[in-house]
Amino acid sequence: MNAVDSSVIIAAFSTWHGGHAAAAAALREKPHFPAHAAVEAYSVLTRLPNPFRSSPMIVHASLVENFGERSLEPRTSMLELIGELANLEIFGGAAYDGLIGVTARDHDATLLTLDRRALATYDRLGVRTRVVT
């Protein structure tokens, strides 16, 4: 099973994004998505400066159209997750990457990403990844 992080969701939605074609191709594989990745993508896409910002209803419709019910919920409690992050010294904004990565890992999914910065976090958590190109 494959899952996508928010970098792929955002790029697939955004025709102006340099990774759009690769991300759109990844979505044609019908991947799952960690629930928190969808919320992060929704937040980004609805707060971008104009002319890139999209309406909340359009973003929601796109998520429904592209993913349906293929949402992955965390299987790890938040305190267990934070403990794992703390033990690995993953902190700050990387903690959100950790949440998305652990959710994919706990569902035995390969996480598709465009976010090379997050790869170190995913690797430390033992998340199987594939960079979308």
What does the pLDDT average to over 95-124? 98
Span 17-49, pLDDT tens digits: 999 999 999 999 999 999 999 999 999 999 999
8 vs 11: CA distance, rounded Å: 5
In this prediction, residue 114 carries a pLDDT of 98
Give me the pLDDT at residue 70, please: 96
Which pairing describes strands 110-113 and 129-131: parallel, antiparallel, or unpaired?
Answer: parallel
State the burial class of residue 103 (Cβ atoms within 10 Å of its Cβ: 0-12, 13-18, 19+).
Answer: buried
Summarize pLDDT for 41-86 with one digit per residue, the tens.
999 999 999 999 999 999 999 999 999 999 999 999 999 999 999 9
CATH superfamily, domain at 2-131: 5'-nuclease (3.40.50.1010)
Per-residue confidence at 105, pLDDT binned at 50, 70, 90? very high
What is the crossing angle of helices 94-106 and 78-87, to 10°? 120
